[in-house]
Amino acid sequence: MLKISSLKKLVTDSMAIDLGTASTIIAVKGRGIVLDEPSLVAINEMNEEIVAFGQEAADMSGREGRDVAVRAPMIGGVVGDFERTKKMLAYFVKKAKTGGSNIAIQGVMSIVSDVTHVEQRALLNAAEDAGIGKVFMMEEGLAAAFGAGVLATDKRASAVVDIGAGTTNIAVIAKGTIVHSTSDRYGSNAINDALATHIRRHRGLQVGEETTEFLKTNFASTFLPEDLSTSIEIRGRDVQTGSPGAVEITAGEVYPIVEGIVRRIALRVKDTLTELRPEVAADIYDRGVILTGGGALLEGIDKYLREFIKLPVTVPEEPRYAIVNGLVKMFDDQELLERVASNELSILQNAEIPFEV
Ligand SMILES: Nc1ncnc2c1ncn2[C@@H]1O[C@H](COP(=O)(O)OP(=O)(O)OP(=O)(O)O)[C@@H](O)[C@H]1O
Ligand SMILES: [Mg+2]
């Protein structure tokens, strides 16, 4: 008879991890999405120690104590601060895993399509440090497509545009492989930055991330509003006096800022679609484009893109979860996982990690 302890060792968590610029999302096979938290750490600046991770760190953001700074260790979809990413990932993995200490973990993580070996190795090391015994890595575009329902057996091409916080990834896939992709270090957070800059320069008010995020998700639209004078009060710090202050922002003022950023993303999609081979282009002409990532939630963005590229645009349910859903599906087909996962350890081991990646 097997002892309980040896039985326990047979248990494996199959974990899918989408480590994004804004949020980390983890799904475990059989349990669905178990974690969705901001990719943030709070640091005690006196001794550089991390005092909080994820949601708890986000709750401190903007109003942190004197010695505490909230930082995002992922930048533009890749590891920006190696040590902190490592600790943050370890915290998330521990939180997401099924209880018990003897559980082995195999993981699959998404990577941006133009990831360098140095960046990929940093991620791999972080995953190993987080206790993941076996790590597979998969291109984000492929994962997003599978998550949005594209089949690996489909001969015809599909196009997926993932608009994240810090990246926009455009991938065209057929038969479970990427036939064309582009990746930009530019995403939905560019809207927040542009709003903050506008409000500071034209309205004399400094506003925090919470305020621009509120404006973007509740007030902004990619279409010219019917009533340009609809307004909303926002609060912050007066640039002139430094005192707390408030201004009324109108829809007519917000619209061109948002449209400018969305146009840039749409242009990139349009350009990428001109680079396809004729057969692939023909498939995309019929099928259009799938829009995923948190950026797809912006009011009217699907309609805007549809009119811009003159092709059908669809948004799957829960576009923010498309990548992680695609990743976790890989555990149902180990053969496919081995085929699509890039985990060339020999190459990675030759890449040196600089002090700060
Ligand atoms: N309801 C909404 N309306 C508009 N934008 C939204 C909404 N919800 C989320 N977003 C935006 O989506 C972005 C986050 O998307 P997502 O979670 O896909 O990013 P990420 O995967 O962390 O980033 P990346 O893929 O660039 O590394 C943020 O910029 C956020 O402001
Ligand atoms: Mg993402």
Q: Dihedrals φ, ψ of 102, to 5°?
A: -95, 15
| CATH assignment at residue 243 | 3.90.640.10
Specify the number of domains making up the chain. Answer: 3
- Among all bound ligands, the one having the nearest atom to the CA of 183 is 1
pTM of the model: 0.92
Residue of 216, 218, 268 best suited for mutating to test ligand 1, as the one with most atoms within 8 Å of CB? 216
Kindly give the residue spans of alpha helices, DSSP state H, lying in 13-107.
Answer: 54-60, 82-96
232 and 265 co-located in one domain: no
327 and 308 co-located in one domain: no
Q: What is the per-residue pLDDT for 78?
A: 84
Residue of 123, 160, 297, 315 best suited for mutating to test ligand 1, as the one with most atoms within 8 Å of CB? 297
In the reported structure, the alpha carbon of residue 299 is separated from the centroid of ligand 1 by a whole-number distance in angstroms of 13
In the reported structure, the alpha carbon of residue 22 is separated from the centroid of ligand 2 by a whole-number distance in angstroms of 8
- Among all bound ligands, the one having the nearest atom to the CA of 40 is 1
| CATH assignment at residue 315 | 3.30.420.40
Q: Is residue 306 in some structural domain?
A: yes
Alpha-carbon Rg for the chain in angstroms? 22
Residue 13, Cβ neighbours under 10 Å: how many? Answer: 22
134 and 283 co-located in one domain: no
Can you list the positions of beta strands (E) in the chain?
12-19, 23-28, 32-38, 41-44, 49-53, 68-71, 74-75, 78-79, 104-111, 134-139, 158-163, 168-174, 177-184, 205-206, 231-238, 244-250, 289-292, 313-314
Q: What is the per-residue pLDDT for 3?
A: 55
Residues with CB under 6 A from ligand 1: 20-23, 77, 164-167, 187-189, 213, 216-217, 293-295, 297-298, 320
pLDDT beneath 50: ranges in the chain: 344-357
Q: Is residue 65 in some structural domain?
A: no
For the sheet with 104-111, list strands across it.
32-38, 23-28, 12-19, 104-111, 134-139
Q: What is the per-residue pLDDT for 255?
A: 96
112 and 212 co-located in one domain: no
- Among all bound ligands, the one having the nearest atom to the CA of 292 is 1
177 and 266 co-located in one domain: yes
Q: Is residue 332 in some structural domain?
A: yes
- Ion ligand 2: residues, CB within 5 A, are 20, 164
111 and 237 co-located in one domain: no
* Parent domain of 250: 206-257
Atom 19 of ligand 1, residue of closest alpha carbon = 164
Q: Is residue 54 in some structural domain?
A: no
243 and 332 co-located in one domain: no
Q: What is the per-residue pLDDT for 353?
A: 45
Q: What is the per-residue pLDDT for 65?
A: 83
284, 262, 12: which is closest to 158 by C-alpha? 284
Ligand 1 atom nearest residue 23's Cα: 22
What is the token pair recorded at 347?
A: 């190459």
In the reported structure, the alpha carbon of residue 291 is separated from the centroid of ligand 1 by a whole-number distance in angstroms of 12
pLDDT tens-digit profile of 196-247?
A: 999 999 999 999 999 999 999 999 999 998 999 999 999 999 999 999 999 9
Q: Is residue 197 in some structural domain?
A: no
- Among all bound ligands, the one having the nearest atom to the CA of 215 is 1
228 and 158 co-located in one domain: no
